[in-house]
Chains A and B, each alone.
Chain A
């Protein structure tokens, strides 16, 4: 199984989920974390991350702040807002529902005829 590009529309949820579990994190950290979480099965073109972060910030789900990283480097840190937390819940639920429905098609279980 080869490595996959991030599917359209899922990057935002991955970012939000990452921030939910990690708290404050900078852009590079988020990118690395997403790759790690996917078990290195996803390639994140790091550049595409930033417009996505900007959009989430414009929509008010995250806020950013300049701070200092572990290695004493100046970096911009992102964290979830309250609206962001709600959005994670909503999106997760939506995604689970979609995945469940798809699953019924892809691998028909015992309850299907």
Chain B
């Protein structure tokens, strides 16, 4: 206790230093005077009296020093001297300080900002108990591995599996929420009763669903997300027991989920109800499975068990389960699998930028150390120990790194907000781990630790750089005149190699950016099979109770379409069950009438469209004709197929006139193919176009409505009018997802992922190019300034200006060549690592590689030419006199 108090006082007295010194001087003075007086009384003469007193004291200076050491902490004392000296040095040379801090701020800011996203998405554990033991179960079909389960399949899986301790389901379709002003689309999910217990999440208010609460007959209950509780109910506890009307059913609110809870596969979700639908239809797929692995079971073991169960079901129910397998994926992989490679590429990009920044500042430090050799030698000669001198460098390095880390943190937190803006709002809603309450990116402890780590690392590099560049001899020899030539070599060797490293790193980043930009360009070049400009789109959610019968649905169609066409600025309007450039889901299985059924499941996207659909999209008809308005249920059934289907199922044949039917459907539902269109992209743009079937809405109405309208004016301006028209027709219909087709394409997941990664890596690459070229300029300019005398001598001896140019340019050319060659080799390796992110672009895209080589070579040449010119214009007389 007493020790601590003393230590704190010593630390404290550090600030009131001067006052203490002064007081002690007075105390010593009064001590001496008293002693001298005593001595005088004892009969000494004044001179001897004073001498005796001083002797007895042991010297004023050494006493003062002993006192000072006791009064403060000597270590802090020197540290503060070093700091003061460092700051004086930096202020004396503001150009260096500002450049170094700015360059580092860029590097640290970029890296920390990206890391905060990596931390939020990939490092922070998901808010569940033991999240690594959770898995999502999909049905795999020939179209792909991640499709929905049917209820009977789920039921059998749940009963028969031996690998899961619990097996639940969820379904992420939203609800039509009844409000006083009409029905609105409310995001939500339906889950089986044990869903939250499987996740290991308990409500913070009220209760969880209990077993059996998901039976069709059970009373309807709902849990609120924390955000919905706050937003819609002001966070009041009395919310329990209130009712909320979802899809026309009153639901009792029984609980509120925790603030940090999120479940990305079903987000955004405000209302979580129990899944009451136990449809016995095995062919009706709308659920995803969520399961917790039993102890000791791996994902692979679970996948094997589920596959064998799926095979049994396939044998048992050949009609409905033909071709259905099972896919088991870890929940973490489902949630962050898409974003992980992009974040890692971005982190690498930012890391390389940081590397360049550090190298740049390190070489600046080297130059500065060179020019301070003499000062160091003088301080050494005046008695500064080597340790004390090195400590000075370490302090300077740490001060630089610490200062830059602070500015870097500020830059990072600004950059984070810019970055989050790059993600479209819809996509962001599906990434709750990036923005949810108590979640998300930001200066979390992990991010601060990371910042501290890179700051320490750069601090160590900056401290060591000058230390290794100054040898023991040089510290003494710096005073002598001839030292200049000798000391240059250390710097030239190290500094020049560092610049080659910078150039190589810049090449890697430039190639990465080039490839990503090209991918993005290629992606936007993909022909969607329609004319996207001047198309407005809207998704509707209709109350099932009012529109369950065919005539009701057709009547609705016949009120919506004329209503839309009547809007000024709309030239044509149409309906579909699902908009193009989506996830490509909503499929059907078909057979070709009159052909032996092959042993496969022909499952393809299936679209119910109104008469003018193709005309509105401006699709391209390749053969046959479009539907007519007269083709309703009274007329023979017809269908239009796309080119991909014709190529896959009717190779070398004319598909028009062929007959197809739904799998296992009665013969009278067979349809005649009346036309073939060029492929419209139903699925994501970065996958190949798939076979698809289009049928007239009037012949097969289903309660799924999406609207497309071709406009003569800016489509964005018409979006509110579309929604208003729908609400005029029936306020019970929820309209959402209003967007132009261009927006749909631009904000579709592959497009924004490519756009975000391309623009970020391009930004890093631009900065890297700038920094490395400036670094090269610095090296050459410094070398020229060191060699002024040599050049003067050469010119005095008759060297031509041309040969001086050659001398300098040759030196630079070697560096540039090494940098570019190493960089190109490195970027091939880097590009093959990010192959998954590339679309329509090879990792060794020759054009990109060549373009990067040329751009970097030219910029580097310019950076070299300026100092070379200065060297060549040296006046030999001045140069020789300069010594």
Contact = CB atoms under 8 A, between A and B. Distances in A.
B666 interface: no
Given A46-B56, A59-B5, A75-B27, A54 B33 contact: no
Of A26, A29, A46, A47, most buried by chain B (CB within 10 Å of CB) is A47
Interface of A, secondary structure class, is helix
Contact of A46 (B2, B57, B70): B57
A27 B9 contact: no
A60 B56 CA distance: 28
A75 B27 CA distance: 6
Contacts of B2: 59-60
A38 interface: no
B434 to A, nearest CB: 53
Interface in A91-110: none
Given A75-B27, A75-B34, A58 B10 contact: yes
B858 interface: no
A45 B28 CA distance: 13
B35 interface: yes
A9 interface: no
Q: For the side of the interface on B, what is the size category?
A: 20 to 34
A69 B3 CA distance: 32
Contacts of A50: 24, 27-28, 63, 66-67
B24 A45 contact: no
B30 A75 contact: yes
B62 interface: yes
A58 B5 contact: yes
A62 to B, nearest CB: 12
B31 interface: yes
A27 B6 contact: no
Interface string B25-53: 01110110111011000000000000000
A57 to B, nearest CB: 9
B661 to A, nearest CB: 98
A58 B66 CA distance: 15
Interface of B, secondary structure class, is helix
A7 to B, nearest CB: 17
B57 A71 contact: no
B58 A73 contact: no
A28 B28 CA distance: 9
Contacts of A47: 57-59, 62-63, 66
A74 interface: yes
A45 B35 CA distance: 13
A48 interface: yes
B69 interface: yes
A74 B30 contact: yes
Contacts of B183: none
Contact of B58 (A28, A48, A71): A48
B5 A73 contact: no
A28 B35 contact: yes
Contact of A45 (B38, B56, B69): B56
Interface string B1-16: 0110110011000000
B34 A73 contact: yes
A20 to B, nearest CB: 18
A59 B4 CA distance: 9
Contacts of A54: 67, 70-71
A26 B32 CA distance: 12
A57 B23 CA distance: 15
Contacts of B28: 50
Contacts of B34: 26, 28-29, 69, 71, 73, 75
B30 A76 contact: yes
B37 A74 contact: no
A76 B27 contact: yes
Interface string B70-85: 1100000000000000
Contacts of B63: 46-47, 50
Contacts of B33: 73
B8 to A, nearest CB: 9
B58 A46 contact: yes
A55 interface: yes
A2 interface: no
A39 interface: no
Given A51-B66, A73-B33, A75-B34, A60 B27 contact: no
Of B10, B34, B35, most buried by chain A (CB within 10 Å of CB) is B34
Interface of B: 2-3, 5-6, 9-10, 23-24, 26-28, 30-31, 33-35, 37-38, 56-59, 62-63, 66-67, 69-71
16 contacts: A27-B31, A28-B30, A28-B35, A45-B58, A46-B57, A46-B58, A46-B63, A47-B58, A47-B63, A47-B66, A51-B67, A54-B70, A58-B5, A69-B34, A74-B30, A76-B26
Closest 3 CB pairs between A and B? A47-B58, A47-B63, A51-B70
Given A47-B59, A76-B26, 11 more contacts: A27-B31, A45-B57, A47-B62, A47-B63, A50-B27, A55-B6, A58-B5, A60-B2, A69-B34, A73-B34, A76-B30
